[in-house]
Every structure is written in C-alpha cells, then in structure tokens.
Amino acid sequence: MSAELILGKDVSEEIYAELRQRIEALKAAGTLPGLAVVLVGDDPASHVYVRKKGEMCESLGMRSKTIIMPESTTQSELLSVIADLNADPEIHGFLVQLPLPPHIDEKAVINAVAPEKDVDCFHPYNVGRMLAGDPGFLPATPAGVQQMLVRSGVETAGKHVVVVGRSNIVGKPMAAMMMQKGPGADSTVTVVHSRTANLPEITRQADILVVAIGKPRFVTADMVKDGAVVIDVGTNRIDDPTHPKGSRLVGDVDFDAVKEKASRITPVPGGVGPMTICMLMANTVRAAERSAGVSQ
Ligand code: GUN
C-alpha cells in the first residue's frame, strides 16, 4: 500500500492563517512586525530563497527589508550592517543568508546578531535555550518538521525517532527537540551519520525517520520499517535529460520505493520545503510579540 503524503503546503497554510491573526493583533496594538534578510554574493539558490522570504513577509502584511551586498563585501562591512539592524526598532528579526563567501567568518557573523532578533535560532545563546527547553525561538527547518508531525496527528511520545544527519541546522537541533518533554516530542532519539556503523540496522528500528544527510536517494526501502513515518529534509538537484531543465529535485529518500513501505511520507518537492519559510515567519511574529511585551 502506498503511504499517505504529508504536504508542507497544507500544514503551512494552517499556520499562516494563525499568524495572520497574530499579525493583525500586533498591528492593532501599534506594532508592525519587520523582518530583514541580508544576502552577500551571487549564489543563485540563495537569491531564490531570499526573494521568497521577502515575498512571504509582504503577503502576510509584515515589513520586509532585503539587503543585497556584493561578493567583495568585507567582514567588517557586513558586521556594520548587522550592528545597524540590531539597533533598528522597525526590524524585529533578521538573518544573514548562508553560505557566506569564504573570506567571511560565518561564526563571527552568527555571534554578532542580537539574540532577541535571531529568527534563524543560530546564535549560541538561542541554541543553548533550545537545548535547555526554554521558551523562545526554534530553528526553522526542525520546527517545521515537528509541526508537520503534530498537525498531521503523528504520535511522537515514546516513539523511536531516528535522525539521519548531524548538521547544526537540522540534525542536531532536530534530535534535541524530539527528546524534550512536551507535545510533539517525548521521543526516544537516535542520531546516525556518515560515520555510523551498521546504519541500515538502526534506521530499520525507526518509528519516525527524519532524513537530512544531503545525499540524493540515500535511504532505500530496505532501510525502512513497515509502517514507519518518513520525513525527507533533503533537496538535491540531479541530472535528468528527460526533464525540460535537464535536471530535477530529489530528496535524501528513494521516494518511489519507500512510499510502498512507509505509512506516511513527505515528497520532494512539496514536503518539508514550504515549512522552513513558514517557521521563519512564525519566529518573526514571535520576536515582534516579545518586543511588544505580549510573549515570552
Ligand atoms: N541557508 C540555507 N538554509 C538557511 C537558513 O535556514 N538560514 C540561513 N540564514 N541561511 C540558510
């Protein structure tokens, strides 16, 4: 039997409807939530992501500011833009799009963002708060995965979640969030990665398998238990001469084979993808609510 699809478009629409109400309440109380996005250089995928973030912000009726800087920007020029955004009362949250050109120290940039405006949840202060289970920002992609599970009625308490991949952006925070106490969590978590011995033996034990390893169609059907819930965070562009563009997007999961074994699965594209921007918008509304004194 083919798995039921969990679609980011459906889940994000539900969250956007809630956010619109919170934005209206903020505006009525005199606060227009504002998000700024800083992009350095010419990476084509980053330009697409940044444009989409700006468009979503505007479609929700929030203030949007996009700052595009040339590849030759120095670290001190970028730090000066960050200092201005930290001090700008009209901007409640902002992020610097990654990757940065190699001459800029990514950690120095992340550390320069004021924690109360760090809607990516990349600053060590916010990473620490997330790990401690304190209320605050959550990193957008893992938070989006958690919302997909919760809002499609997947039980997580007591379940074995196996996270494939250990990145700072997805794998590590995903594991930390699923082991917290509370709704959408309370799971038993295992993390596997490129150096794990007997990886398929472990993934086969997963009730919920979250895959973020950045390798096209890495998870095959023999690595998945019958009836597992499979969440594919990967987006990989592969050559495909039968496609008009000569290439197409695939996830980290061999979708066609795994959908015959899983009970629920997220496709690529259309699965987790739309959730990342949605949770970024949710963090921005949260930042504005905090600044207006209506949220922790
Ligand atoms: N590049 C890819 N994903 C992200 C993200 O979530 N935030 C930032 N700042 N850059 C990214």
Q: In this predicted model, what pLDDT tens digit does every residue of 28-86 receive, in sequence order? A: 999 999 999 999 999 999 999 999 999 999 999 999 999 999 999 999 999 999 999 99
Report pLDDT for 175. 98
Active-site residue, from 97, 117, 207, 232: 97
CA separation for the pair 290, 197 (Å, rounded): 45
For the question of residue 97 being annotated catalytic, the response is: yes
Report pLDDT for 295. 78
Report pLDDT for 296. 67
- Residue 236, Cβ density class (10 Å: 0-12 exposed, 13-18 middle, ≥19 buried): middle
> Minimal CA–CA distance to 118: which of 140, 147, 99?
140
Residue among 66, 169, 174 to mutate when testing ligand 1 (max atoms within 8 A of CB): 169
120 C-beta closer than 6 A to ligand 1:
yes
Q: Where are the alpha helices (DSSP H) in the chain?
A: 8-28, 44-59, 75-87, 106-112, 124-132, 140-151, 171-178, 199-203, 255-258, 273-291
pLDDT, tens digit, for every residue of 152-188?
Answer: 999 999 999 999 999 999 999 999 999 999 999 999 9
Residue among 39, 40, 49 to mutate when testing ligand 1 (max atoms within 8 A of CB): 49
pLDDT, tens digit, for every residue of 227-285?
Answer: 999 999 999 999 999 999 999 999 999 999 999 999 999 999 999 999 999 999 999 99
CA separation for the pair 145, 231 (Å, rounded): 7
214 C-beta closer than 6 A to ligand 1:
no
> Which residue's CA is minimally distant from atom 8 of ligand 1?
97
CA separation for the pair 249, 237 (Å, rounded): 5
> Minimal CA–CA distance to 33: which of 65, 11, 67, 66?
65
Nearest atom of ligand 1 to the alpha carbon of 141 = 6
The rounded Å distance from CA 96 to ligand 1 centre is 8
Report pLDDT for 80. 98
For the question of residue 52 being annotated catalytic, the response is: no
Nearest atom of ligand 1 to the alpha carbon of 169 = 6
98 C-beta closer than 6 A to ligand 1:
yes
Mean pLDDT of 115-127: 98
Nearest atom of ligand 1 to the alpha carbon of 280 = 6
CA separation for the pair 105, 95 (Å, rounded): 15
> Minimal CA–CA distance to 12: which of 280, 228, 215?
280
Angle ∠(128,174,197) on CA atoms, nearest 5 = 110
95 C-beta closer than 6 A to ligand 1:
yes
Residue 92: pLDDT band by 50, 70, 90 thresholds?
very high
143 C-beta closer than 6 A to ligand 1:
no
For the question of residue 252 being annotated catalytic, the response is: no
